[in-house]
Structure 1
Amino acid sequence: MAIDFTLTPEQKKVQMVARDFAENVLAQVVREADREPDPLKAFQLTKPAYVEAYKRGIAFGMLPKEYGGGGLTNIELILAAEEICAVDPGFACTVLVNGLALLPVWYWGTEEQKKRIMGAATSDSSGAWIAGYAASEPPGSPGGTANFDTPLPHPVGIGVTARQDGDSYVLNGRKYWPCNVGGWDGEGADVNLVVVRTDPEKGGTEGLSAVLVERGTPGVTYNIIDSFGHRLTPNSEIIFEDARIPANNLIEGTFGNGDLLINRNFAWSGPVAGIAAVGVARAAYEAALTWARTYTAGAPHPMIHFQNVGYVLGDVAARIEACRYFCWKAAHYIDEHGYHGELIGAMNKTYCTETLFDSVYKCMQVVGVNSADKKHMFEKYLREAAIFPIYDGGNFGMQRRRVHGVLASPGFNPRALMDNEFVEFTKDMETIDTIAHVEAKSPAHI
């Protein structure tokens, strides 16, 4: 039959390898790292686990085997991601960003770039090689990246400029929030994929490209951001001050189309973020169910026998199942359509992350005030769940706008996803919602 939710032996193996790593390696460092007040030190406490993930083929499992990666399908990737996210989604985000940084090299890079960059990523004897992806920029007026495709002149939208000077590009400007970019020591990842404006005379979606900034590039500094959730992954500010990179570090196929790279990247990461929410909600649900089976709250029998507790946990369990299979559907669609899924990826990410944020809080209500005690994990689950709707493009900032842009397109088929039909995402679908749209007044209203 065409629809079968039974995992193949290979898929089950991927799931079990990730579960073993998450429960027996990662879990040993999570509590200490999460409680470490210094964000860089917190990240550094995960390094031994990362090295082990590298050795087990997890850290670069999403890259093609041709260039040394694990060759995982997107379905296999999210099977593994759920297991890791159930223990800590911040660590999983570190691994995810390796893909956000290097998959565009696979999509659009030259053969030399693929061999040089992906080959280095997958053949590091230390097991600590890491990549960063930098699109987000600081807030301000103008500034920020949520409306990066506003069709207005520069400096609105993406503000980091890359001016060609002979056989180099010179970068100036700031990025804010990108993950992994500072590396293990705050001095830079091994390589960072940076979305820049290669044509500063243009604004909006025009003149954007992606370049590779390698560790040790002069004129690049990093400031680590202290966030309340995802503490095991590092977010940073990057400052470029006349940073000079080789012209051949431009990802050739992205020239003038960095906007489409951003949308394609966040499409790929949509079901990964969705399954991360599944993992955290699963952990909260299992903890709340265990609590309800044993805690009486002074009653003659455990709480699970109270109708309201059973109903609430039953609803949470149903939401987890529904979101898990939506993530499987989205990942399968992306596998089927050349790593494109701009519509379904955005729909999946917004729906799952918001649905399951509420589910985590429902679990806390079942446990009651004891869920606020830090000796339990519920406060961490809540902090982690609160990050999902606001990161990875932001549900309000970029994800819903991508859906709106597709739906507003005259040629959109509303049954496309049901029929597994390819939905192309084009520049015509961008810019929607980024400026006030004023309807022309009819003569009767003048």
Structure 2
Amino acid sequence: MFEKVVCQMAIDFTLSDAQKKVQLDARDFAESVLAPIVRGADREPDPLTAFQMTKPAYIEAYRRGIAFCMLPKEYGGGGLTNVELILAAEEICAVDPGFACTVLVNGLGLLPVWYWGTEEQKEKVLGAATSDPSGEWIVGYGASEPAGTPGGTANFDTPLPAPAGIGVTARLDGDHYVINGRKYWPCNVGGWDGAGANTSLYVVRTNPEKGGTEGLAALLVDRGTPGVTFSTIDSFGHRLTPNSEVVFDNARVPRENLVEGTQGNGDLLINRNFAWSGPVAGIAAVGVARAAYEAALSWAKTYTAGGPHPIIHHQYVGYVLGDVAAKIEASRYFCWKAAHYIDQHDYHGELIGAMNKVFCTELLFDAVYKCLQVVGVNSADKKHMFEKYLREAAIFPIYDGGNFGMQRRRVHGVMASPGFEPRALMNDEYVEFTKDMETIGTVSPPTSVGTQRIETVPPPTPAGTDRVGTAAPAPVEA
């Protein structure tokens, strides 16, 4: 028999005064600083020039503490929790998710230094990033590679031997690593002038004799390193963030630029980064859908289509917009849940981060398209913002670890694990992510003949997780 329990429920969707301030400060920046430059920059045909047009806004974001808000205060960062981070991200993404992606990648490049770097690396790299008087400091993150050269990143965690998986190699030569190969799609790595970010973190194969997930680590490559060249990719969405092709031709990087705790675990770095960015990508989709919904609702309340009343009075319009609003609300709170989970579990959330990213980005792509249906053919007129909303929404499911590939495979790998507890997320319990969860579905089993049993390729023996070695620091309170 249930008994009445007199206590305050732990779940409360009311923002604290501090959280509300983070949200409103981000909204003020997005609307007063970022919004005036977005339309012109988005229409600029040259992708590098388009990115450069955001530089004044970035410098202001740096001065307001936004550019490195995710780093701990002890190293000069903003010290925001992940919940606070996505409260701010929604406001910026509602104006332009490409610019927000530039800021996000600062975290993808430097949080692994916080997790696994030496104290000297943390003080040197994080300190430099957060103390630039010009406000221009920018960080790149490079994991993605072009497909088939030789492996590509979509199957970076295949158990097959070299050259499958990540193909950029870094061979130790004395006190330097010599890097060769190509990366494709890394963000921020070209910097403001296309000649290099201040520093970039790349996942490379430091043991080229090993394939699959073995022998991977993270190296910091500083601006001006000889043998590194960049070319900017022209994408149809997120045009205000810079994606590049990077070519390494015997680039020499000091041995001390290896992020020590990532040696042999670069694969787990990739998965942990995607865990952290999962709810950020999810809330970015919320921001874009929110902007499209509000614009469509305003249109429906003023546009009559030649009839006696605005079209909002038609059932179809009202029902569709009501469904869109519900999807936005549901996705927003799932992002809050995922961010809170990552705060509670030492910046781990490989399962919930992937689930969140897949669910929100796909659900809200449909929501944005529904807004275009409500507006009708007028949504195709570029004097309105709807075509931009659709382009931005289409990027979410395929970037930051494609939903069909990296994200769903991570969920699949965790669920297939013998010890998986299906109620773990409901109970806010830690779900460990290990190497033996990575390889699922990356190798097709041989075909069977008749009723012969199909033998699958077993996963490699687990080589530990990123919980060994340097422990992740506890979340920093704002």
For normalisation by structure 1, the TM-score amounts to 0.99
| Structure 1 letter corresponding to 2:183 | K
Correspondence for 1:126 = 134
Correspondence for 1:295 = 303
Sequence identity, in percent? 81
Residue deviations 1:122-142 (CA, integer Å, cap 9, x gap): 000000100000000011263
In the TM superposition, residue 440 of structure 1 has moved relative to its aligned partner by 7.1
In the TM superposition, residue 437 of structure 1 has moved relative to its aligned partner by 2.5
| Structure 2 letter corresponding to 1:42 | A
**Is 2:401 the partner of 1:393?**
yes
Correspondence for 1:114 = 122
Correspondence for 1:215 = 223
Correspondence for 1:278 = 286
Correspondence for 1:436 = 444
Correspondence for 1:16 = 24
Pairwise CA RMSD of aligned residues?
A: 1.2
- Tell me which of 147, 152, 158 is aligned to 2:155: 147
Residue deviations 1:85-111 (CA, integer Å, cap 9, x gap): 000000000000000000000000000
In the TM superposition, residue 397 of structure 1 has moved relative to its aligned partner by 1.9
Residue deviations 1:26-83 (CA, integer Å, cap 9, x gap): 0010000000000000000000000000000000000000100000000000000000
Correspondence for 2:383 = 375
| Structure 1 letter corresponding to 2:73 | K
Q: Give the number of equivalent residue pairs.
A: 446
Higher helix proportion: 1
Correspondence for 2:177 = 169
Residue deviations 1:261-287 (CA, integer Å, cap 9, x gap): 000000000000000000000000000
| Structure 2 letter corresponding to 1:278 | V
Correspondence for 2:81 = 73
In the TM superposition, residue 439 of structure 1 has moved relative to its aligned partner by 7.9
- Tell me which of 221, 235, 246 is aligned to 1:227: 235
- Tell me which of 415, 419, 434 is aligned to 1:426: 434
| Structure 1 letter corresponding to 2:111 | L
3-state DSSP of counterpart to 1:405: helix
| Structure 1 letter corresponding to 2:134 | S
Distance in 2 (alpha carbons) for counterparts of 1:109 and 1:264: 15
In the TM superposition, residue 152 of structure 1 has moved relative to its aligned partner by 1.1
**Is 2:42 the partner of 1:34?**
yes
3-state DSSP of counterpart to 1:172: strand
Correspondence for 1:305 = 313
For normalisation by structure 2, the TM-score amounts to 0.92
Distance in 1 (alpha carbons) for counterparts of 2:244 and 2:151: 17
Correspondence for 1:358 = 366
Correspondence for 1:241 = 249
Q: Which runs of 5+ in 1 are unaligned?
A: none
Once structures 1 and 2 are overlaid, which stretch shifts more, 355-364 or 141-150?
A: 141-150
In the TM superposition, residue 362 of structure 1 has moved relative to its aligned partner by 0.1
Distance in 1 (alpha carbons) for counterparts of 2:310 and 2:66: 40
Correspondence for 1:414 = 422
Distance in 2 (alpha carbons) for counterparts of 1:79 and 1:4: 15
Residue deviations 1:155-190 (CA, integer Å, cap 9, x gap): 111000000011110000000000000000000000
Distance in 2 (alpha carbons) for counterparts of 1:236 and 1:438: 37
Mapping of residues 45-84 of structure 1, within 5 Å: 45-84=53-92
- Tell me which of 198, 205, 229 is aligned to 1:197: 205
Distance in 1 (alpha carbons) for counterparts of 2:293 and 2:176: 53
Distance in 1 (alpha carbons) for counterparts of 2:403 and 2:314: 36
Query: Is the 8 Å Cα contact of residues 129 and 138 (structure 2) preserved in structure 1?
Result: yes
Once structures 1 and 2 are overlaid, which stretch shifts more, 420-429 or 144-153?
A: 144-153
In the TM superposition, residue 315 of structure 1 has moved relative to its aligned partner by 0.1
3-state DSSP of counterpart to 2:180: strand
Query: Is the 8 Å Cα contact of residues 372 and 386 (structure 2) preserved in structure 1?
Result: yes
Distance in 2 (alpha carbons) for counterparts of 1:438 and 1:13: 57
Correspondence for 2:392 = 384
3-state DSSP of counterpart to 1:312: helix
Residue deviations 1:238-281 (CA, integer Å, cap 9, x gap): 00000001000000000000000000000000000000000000
Q: Which runs of 5+ in 2 are unaligned?
A: 1-8, 455-478
| Structure 1 letter corresponding to 2:30 | A
